[in-house]
Structure 1
Amino acid sequence: MSEEPAIQRVEVGFVGAPPVRQVARASGVSDVQADGTVLSCCVCGGFQLFLEALRGHEVIPLRSHSFEETS
């Protein structure tokens, strides 16, 4: 029996404009939204590609929590 990858809802605050396009292109990332300097999205599975998309941008807070889909 294989487990489905965990889905996390992530909120990231930036100094300056968030890298919306870079994050949206990262594999496993969906539902990317920006509100001022805060970016939110869903990350499915590992965070490596998501974190690589943040490279070069100063992150202030980063929060994540499990996102449970209802069937």
Structure 2
Amino acid sequence: MKMNLKTLSKINWVLIAIALLTFFYSLRDPRHAYVAGGVALALWAIAYGLELYIKKQRKKEEQ
């Protein structure tokens, strides 16, 4: 399934926002800090990988 790069970029920003909210939730509630922190880290890693993919595709389109 091929998606538009603008759509992927918007999805990326949503993932980053959810990761930040989850991270701040982990700071607020110490009982679930490990789980929420792990989820935030995983979402951040997915968003970073998606950003690298977007940059690679844009570079490929320019050529």
Is this a same-fold pair by TM over 0.5?
no
Which of the two has greater helix per residue? 2
Query: Which structure ranks higher in relative contact order (CA pairs < 8 Å, sequence separation ≥ 6)?
Result: 1
TM-score under structure 1 length normalisation: 0.24
TM-score under structure 2 length normalisation: 0.26
> Which structure's CA Rg is the greater one?
2
